[in-house]
A = this chain, B = another copy of it.
C-alpha cells in the first residue's frame, strides 16, 4: 500500500513555523512553544526575519536559509504572502503546508476568494498538500505536535477531524476530563485542498485510531465522502456532528469556514444510511466518544439498573425507556437469590431498576446491591447493566463514604470480569470555587477518577448515559 499523503503531516522529520513571532500572545509563538512542550523529536525551524532566537531555537530569515530539508510547514503569515511562500516550499521540497493563515473566503470578500483560488492553484501546481486555510492544524500526542495548551500528552484511541479549531480545542479539553485520549486530531477550516474525505480515509486506515469523531460545517464532495464513510463505518465507528443546520447556522457557517451548509434533512438521512452516528451537540459527541471508546459492543436493549433510591429508580426507568431501551422485569432466579440472602425480602417488592433503599440496612452494609449488579451482569436476561452511584441518599459524611466506596469497589470487581457492557451514572456537580474544598465533591470526584481509570464509562446524568449508549447499540446493530 502506498504511503497515505497525510503520513508526512503526522510524522514529519522537520517542521518550519513560518511567521513565528516573539509575541507570546500570538498563535505562531504558541505553535513553536507547543512543539517544545509536547516533546516533538524532529527538527524545529522558526522562520522570522528580524530575530535570531525564539524560545532558545535558532531562527531563519526564510525557508531557503534552512540548511536541511523541511517536511511540514505551519504557515502563520498574512494571506497575500502565501503564494510566494508556496513557491519557496516547492524549492525546499515541502510536502504538506498547514495554513493557520485565515481571512480568506470566510470574510465574504471577492478579492479574498480570488486569493484563495490562487493559493490552491499554486499548491496543485507544486504538488504540495494543504491543511486549511483558517484552521489550527494538527494535534498528535504520539509525535509531540499540538495546537492547544494543556492537551493530554499521552495518546489514545479517538481520532478527530474538526472543521472548527475552537470546537476541537473545547472537545479535547472537556473530553479529557472524561478520560478520553486521542490518536490524531485535525482542525481543517476551509478545506481548500485536503478535505473531509481525505481526513476520514486517513483515520480509517490508521491503526492507532479506534473511533472517529468529526465536526463538519459543509462537504466538498458529498458522493465521495458518503462512499468513504460507508467503508469506514464497516471497520470502526464514526460520530458526526453536522453544524449549520438551520437558517442562522447556515449564515454562521458561511462567515466561519465559507462552507455551504446544505440541507440538514438530506445530510441527516444520507449520513445515517452509511452507518455513521449523527449527534447534535458537542456534549452529546463527548458522551458518544466515551461510550464507543470503552464499551464492548452493545447488542440488545434489555437494561438492568442498580443503585439509588425510589425516585432514582423511577427516573431511570423513564429515561432508559425513552431512549429506546427495555427496562425488563427482574428475572425470577435473581429474585430467588435475593430472598435466600435476605429472607425479609421474601415477596416481589424488589424490581428492576433496583431501589437499594428499600432493603434492610444489614443488606446495604453487606453489599447486596453490588451482589445484585453482579447477578444481573451474569444473567442472560440483560444485554447491559448500569450502576447508579447513590448520590441521592440521606447520608452523612461517614455513611456516604462507606456506602459509595462499597458500590465503586463492587463495580470495579464486576468490570474486571467483563461479562457484559457496564456503565456508571455519577454526577460530580458543576462546582463553584467554594465547593472545591467540600468533602462531598472531592469524594465524588475521586470515585469518578477511580472508575475512569478503569475505563468504565461514567456519565453525569441518566439521560446522557441512555442516549450515548443507544448510539452504540445503533452502530453495532447496523454493522
Q: List A residues at the B interface (Cβ < 8 Å).
A: 24-25, 27, 30, 33, 102, 106-109, 136, 147-150, 162-170, 173-174, 177-179, 215, 217, 243-249, 251-253, 255-257, 280-283, 308-322, 326-329, 347-353, 355, 357-358, 361, 391-400, 427-436, 438, 440, 442, 445-446, 448-449, 452, 460-463
The reply to whether B147 and A255 form a contact with Cβ atoms under 8 Å apart is no
CA of A322 to CA of B431, assembled, Å: 28
Q: Known A-B contacts: A251-B351, A252-B353, A283-B463. Give 9 more (CB < 8 A).
A: A109-B347, A163-B311, A166-B308, A166-B392, A248-B321, A251-B329, A252-B310, A428-B431, A434-B449
- Measured CB to CB, the nearest residue on chain B to A163 is B311
Q: Is there contact, CB below 8 Å, between B315 and A243?
A: yes
Copies in the complex: 2
CB-defined contacts of A431 to chain B, threshold 8 Å: 177, 428, 431, 445, 448
Whether A442 contacts B436 by the Cβ 8 Å rule is yes
Which of B25, B108, B255, B317 contacts A249 (CB under 8 A)? B317
- Which of B326, B348, B460 has a CB less than 8 Å from the CB of A430? B460
The answer to whether A448 and B463 have CB atoms under 8 Å apart is: no
A150 touches B430 (CB 8 A): no
Instruction: Check A170–B396 contact: CB distance below 8 A.
Output: no
By a CB distance below 8 angstroms, the chain B residues around A358 are: 102, 106, 255
A361 neighbours in B (Cβ, 8 Å): 25
Selected from B170, B256, B348, B351, the residue in CB contact (under 8 A) with A314 is B256
- Whether A281 pairs with B315 at a CB distance below 8 angstroms is yes
A166–B460 contact, CB under 8 A? Answer: no
Q: A188 to nearest B CB, angstroms? A: 12
A242 to chain B, nearest CB (A): 9
6 contacts between A and B (CB under 8 A): A25-B399, A149-B396, A166-B392, A167-B392, A243-B311, A433-B448
Would you call B392 and A169 a contact (CB within 8 A)?
A: yes
Q: Is the CB of A173 within 8 A of B243?
A: no
